Structures are given as structure tokens and as C-alpha cells.
């Protein structure tokens, strides 16, 4: 009987401890950690005509309203912010650790994931927090199959902390093309912390365009005569061409190369 009681006490203690586990963003966001991308997203106004492309090919986009005016989504810098975000689905908390570790996205803004491969069936998990007391939500869609899920939650404060949530989308094992998985804010405004892909094969994050063009530090070689577009990191179009592109006259920095009809983007540094 004593052994049984001790076992029960140990089990209860373990359950109590597991409920108190605090996970950092880096521990749960293996595909896009918004804090880690802070340098790429800070002060960038992403609209329907500009976008931010991350190194893994993921694209952040804004949207255009019906009256023709544009709404932007930007990195949300705050001087103070609650650091412990309650995550009901995990019976624990997601600790943001650093002030301003979220991407504030308005309704219609989207994130198109770059190429990735999974080694087993699992889920795409988007960590988000409603920015306000009314209903806020996201949709996750597979454009190849038209499968879509919508997750709408209320952001009413609990003990002065707004609850955080996980939007989950089940996916089969396999390779997914850039732009095939799209995450969109469908209601009001939410803070997005990061994206996790279960069973992610990190070595397989590639872009189809990388197999068709190359860059030697000065010239983009375009042997297949693709219609190329080169953008700076702010999403501004720098040059278009269906031949080789000499980048020697451009400022030192990071550029994104896209090809018409080819999914993905190639990030180059000169």
C-alpha cells in the first residue's frame, strides 16, 4: 500500500510539473521563429505589392482593401508586453522571453510557406495570440488539395494575460512545394509567434528555382532563359530579365530572385 501511495504522489507531482513546463519560441517553432527573423521583418511594411521573403522561401504578404487602399503588417515592437502566454492546447505556456516577439498581422495578411519535406504524418502548428478581446482567427490551407481549417479564438484577458493558441493542420508525409501551404489571418488582427512543422526534414528545405539558376557573387546565371525578377529585402523590384543578370553594380546586401512559373525563391548575398 505504501508503494502504491508513493507512486500516486510521484505521478501527481510529475503531472503538476508537466503542466508548469514553459517552452521558449525556439523550442516549438522549428520552421519560422518570428523572433529569430526579427532582422528581416523589422520596419518592413508588407502590402499587396511588397513582401518579405525569408531564407527558407517563406513569404509574408499583406492585402489590398476593396477601396484600393493598402493595409500593412509589420513587426510589432512594444516597450512592454506580458511574457507568459497561456497555451490552452498544451496545458502550459509559451514564454516569449523577449519583448516584441510577435508578428502582428491584420485580416487578409498571409504567410506562404517555402518548400519543405516531412518524414512522417504530422501537423503544421501555428502559434498565435488574438490581439484584442473580440474573436480573432487564422486559416491554414493546402492549395494543392483545397483542404482548409479555420481556428477562431477569443482574446479576452485572463489575469491580465491574453490567452495564446495553436492552430493545427494535419499533413501527410511528403514534399510540399513553396506556396502550397498558406496561412491567412481571416478575422481581425492576431499576433503570430511562429510556425512548427512536425517531423520536418530540415535538410530538404530547398527551392525549385535553386536547381535552375546559380549566382557566383556577381552574375546570376540563367541558362534556361527564365523570366527572372530580383527584389531587395524590402520587396522592392530591382530588375527583370530572361538572360543572365549582372549584379556587380548593385549595393552589397541580400536579394531575392524569383522566376515566372517556378515555385520558390532564391536568396542571394553579394
The residue extents of the domains of the chain are: 21-204, 208-269
* pLDDT, averaged in runs of 10, over the chain (270 residues): 44 40 70 77 67 84 69 54 64 58 76 90 90 89 94 82 86 90 90 89 62 89 92 79 94 82 74
The whole-number pLDDT of residue 61 equals: 84
The whole-number pLDDT of residue 98 equals: 47
Put simply, whether the predicted model's pTM sits higher than 0.85 gets the answer no
The whole-number pLDDT of residue 76 equals: 54
Evaluate whether 209 touches 24 at the Cβ level (below 8 Å).
no
The whole-number pLDDT of residue 13 equals: 41
Q: From the options 1.10.10.10, 3.40.50.300, 3.30.70.20, 2.60.120.260, give the CATH code of 21-204.
A: 2.60.120.260
Q: From the options 3.30.70, 1.10.287, 2.60.40, 1.10.3470, give the CATH code of 208-269.
A: 2.60.40
The three cell numbers of residue 132 are: 484584442
Contact partners, residue 46, CB within 8 Å, separation at least 6: 52, 60, 61, 62, 72, 73, 74, 109, 235
Contact partners, residue 114, CB within 8 Å, separation at least 6: 54, 56, 57, 58, 59, 178, 205, 207, 264, 265
Closest CA to 186 of 149, 157, 156, 161: 149
Amino acid at each position: 500500500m505504501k508503494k502504491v501511495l508513493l507512486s500516486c504522489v510521484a505521478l501527481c507531482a510529475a503531472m503538476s510539473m508537466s503542466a508548469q513546463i514553459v517552452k521558449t519560441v525556439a523550442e516549438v517553432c522549428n520552421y519560422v521563429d518570428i523572433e529569430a527573423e526579427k532582422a528581416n521583418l523589422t520596419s518592413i511594411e508588407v502590402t499587396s505589392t511588397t513582401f518579405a521573403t525569408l531564407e527558407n522561401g517563406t513569404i509574408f504578404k499583406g492585402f489590398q482593401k476593396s477601396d484600393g487602399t493598402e493595409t500593412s503588417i509589420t513587426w510589432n515592437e512594444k516597450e512592454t508586453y506580458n511574457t507568459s502566454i497561456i497555451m490552452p492546447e498544451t496545458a502550459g505556456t509559451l514564454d516569449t522571453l523577449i519583448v516584441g516577439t510577435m508578428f502582428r498581422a491584420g485580416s487578409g495578411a498571409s504567410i506562404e510557406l517555402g518548400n519543405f519535406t516531412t518524414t512522417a504524418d504530422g501537423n503544421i502548428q501555428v502559434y498565435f495570440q488574438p490581439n484584442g478581446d473580440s474573436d480573432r482567427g487564422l486559416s491554414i490551407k493546402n492549395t494543392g488539395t483545397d483542404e482548409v481549417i479555420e481556428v477562431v479564438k477569443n482574446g479576452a484577458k485572463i489575469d491580465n494575460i491574453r490567452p495564446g493558441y495553436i492552430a493545427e493542420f494535419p499533413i501527410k508525409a511528403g514534399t510540399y512545394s513553396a506556396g502550397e501551404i498558406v496561412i491567412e489571418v481571416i478575422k481581425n488582427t492576431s499576433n503570430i509567434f511562429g510556425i512548427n512543422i512536425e517531423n520536418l526534414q530540415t535538410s530538404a528545405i530547398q527551392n525549385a528555382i535553386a536547381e535552375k539558376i546559380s549566382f557566383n557573387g556577381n552574375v546570376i546565371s540563367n541558362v534556361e532563359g527564365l523570366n527572372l525578377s530580383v527584389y531587395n529585402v524590402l520587396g522592392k523590384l530591382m530588375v527583370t530579365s530572361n538572360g543572365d543578370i549582372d549584379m556587380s553594380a548593385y549595393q552589397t546586401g541580400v536579394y531575392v530572385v524569383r522566376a515566372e512559373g517556378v515555385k520558390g525563391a532564391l536568396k542571394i548575398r553579394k
